[in-house]
Amino acid sequence: MKMDIRYGRDGSVPLEIPDANLAGVLKPNPVAGGDAGELLRRALEQPVGGPPLERFVAEARDLLVLVNDATRPTPTARVLDEILPLLERRPLKFLVATGIHRAPSEDELRQMFGRHLESLRERISVHDARREQDMVLLGRSRNGTEMRVNRLGVEADRIVIISSVEPHYFAGYTGGRKSFLPGIAAFATIEQNHRLALRPEAQALRLAGNPVHEDMVDALGTVRKEIFAVNTVLDGAHRLVGVAAGDINRSLEQAARLADRVFSVPVEAPADIVVAEVKFPADIDLYQSQKGIDNAKLALADGGILILVSACRQGVGEEAFVKLLSSADTPEQVLEKISGEYRLGFHKAGKMAEVFCRARVWAVSDLQPEVLESIFIAPQPSVQQALDRALAEKGTGARVLVLQDASLTVPRLEPAAAG
């Protein structure tokens, strides 16, 4: 079988897999959507658990709109096409909910806001989790997480969030409450919440019993503001297939059910080799691309080889996890260090170390080989060469799975799926 693996924003690389070895190609499921404008208008006029957006806006003194940064494929500009005529009836500001990510570049701002950027530019602020002077303490969750958020979110009369709902490897799903925590939260608040990611219940496609999600929802209770959420769901080609709007928690639950239909994919049995394709924009750095490793592990047999394909266009991203991994002689040592001390980013190192303990990870990327080697990942010159080498090691009967859009596609072991 010959196929193209996406690489970088617009590129691809060829891959040929012997038919006898190909166990399958996993990708998001096709889901019928409809006209994007109609989907948005219907959700705004018939929200879950709250008034229509028009009435919500009419009763506001001023508005703050929270938007995702460029690490997510959220169709912010398309949503703004529909809602800006309503929003601009009141004093209006925008805040980019970066969490601990860096500020967006000019190109990324244009990617996010599209044709609206120039008219809105003077009203756009970017959250910086490390600027303590910008933060206000609202209270604590039952787990003790201090909810310190950007003061713009405290000063605004009402808040509108524009988000997208996809699987998230430890929060269950993106969207909704994540616009606040980690979106506009202080560094220490994010660190306290993300410590919970080390628990086994913190996993993709799970909300009930997920300690990270439940802590986010609990901490959100300290934000005593009227909030209108617009949670979009995209398919594998980043086309809008669903929108749930209104109450921040109920709309997330509704959107998550559709996201599950799109991104949860059955697989008959673990494979000896998994090729994990991380597409734009999740290929921005290794910190984000790790989500592809975490999803691919669900379809990988113990002792298998995982081939990560991600440009990592802007390097490793947040460096704490790389420093921790590179400071250890073995993956097991990484887990020992985390058990004694936690800092933000260590959850990322922990999730990776767990994979390294039971399988090998190779990578095709733009990262320096010595960086990858220092964190237990073997650099490879090309996808084809990596696969050929893996097949030579694993033998003629090795089973190969290709996981497309690996940062979002979540394999679900289901032996009966073969029949």
**Can you give the pTM of this predicted structure?**
0.89
Q: Which DSSP category does 33 fall into?
A: -
Residues 27/405, Cβ–Cβ less than 8 Å: yes
Residues 88/241, Cβ–Cβ less than 8 Å: no
| Distance from C-alpha of 286 to C-alpha of 352, rounded to nearest angstrom | 11
Q: Where are the domains of the chain?
A: 2-30+268-418, 36-262
Do 36-262 and 2-30+268-418 fall under one CATH topology? no
Residue with tokens 């975490």: 294
What is residue 286's predicted lDDT score, i.e. its pLDDT? 97
Strand partners, 126: 96
Of the candidate CATH numbers 3.90.226.30, 3.90.1150.10, 3.30.365.10, 3.40.50.300, the domain formed by 2-30+268-418 belongs to 3.90.226.30
Residue 363 has phi, psi (to 5 degrees) of -145, 140
Strand partners, 164: 232
Q: Which of 295, 291, 308 is nearest to 360 (CA)?
A: 308
Q: Cα angle vertex 66, ends 312, 347, to 5°?
A: 45
Q: In one letter, which amino acid is 391? A: L
Strand partners, 241: none
One digit per residue, pLDDT tens: the chain, 419 residues?
999 999 999 999 999 999 999 999 999 999 988 899 999 999 999 999 999 999 999 999 999 999 999 998 999 999 999 999 999 999 999 999 999 999 999 999 999 999 999 999 999 999 999 999 999 999 999 989 999 999 999 999 999 999 999 999 999 999 999 999 999 999 999 999 999 999 999 999 999 999 999 999 999 999 999 999 999 999 988 999 999 999 999 999 999 999 999 999 999 999 999 999 999 999 999 999 999 999 999 999 999 999 999 999 999 998 999 999 999 999 999 999 998 889 888 999 999 999 999 999 999 999 999 999 999 999 999 999 999 999 999 998 999 999 999 999 999 998 764 44
Going by C-beta distance under 8 Å and a sequence separation of 6 or more, which residues neighbour residue 18?
391
CA of residue 74 relative to chain centroid, distance:
11
| Distance from C-alpha of 142 to C-alpha of 102, rounded to nearest angstrom | 29
Q: Which fold has domain 36-262?
A: Rossmann fold (3.40.50)
Residues 74/68, Cβ–Cβ less than 8 Å: yes
* Alpha-carbon radius of gyration of the chain: 21
| Distance from C-alpha of 78 to C-alpha of 121, rounded to nearest angstrom | 17
Structure tokens at 53: 């957006």
Q: Kindly give the residue spans of alpha helices, DSSP state H, lying in 95-247.
A: 106-113, 117-120, 151-155, 187-194, 211-220
What is residue 22's predicted lDDT score, i.e. its pLDDT? 97
Q: What is the largest CA-CA distance in the chain?
A: 68
What is residue 416's predicted lDDT score, i.e. its pLDDT? 60
Q: Which DSSP category does 95 fall into?
A: E
What is residue 34's predicted lDDT score, i.e. its pLDDT? 86
Residues 199/104, Cβ–Cβ less than 8 Å: no
| Distance from C-alpha of 388 to C-alpha of 394, rounded to nearest angstrom | 10
Give how far Cα 355 sits from Cα of 48, 136, 377, Å: 39, 38, 11
| Distance from C-alpha of 68 to C-alpha of 36, rounded to nearest angstrom | 19
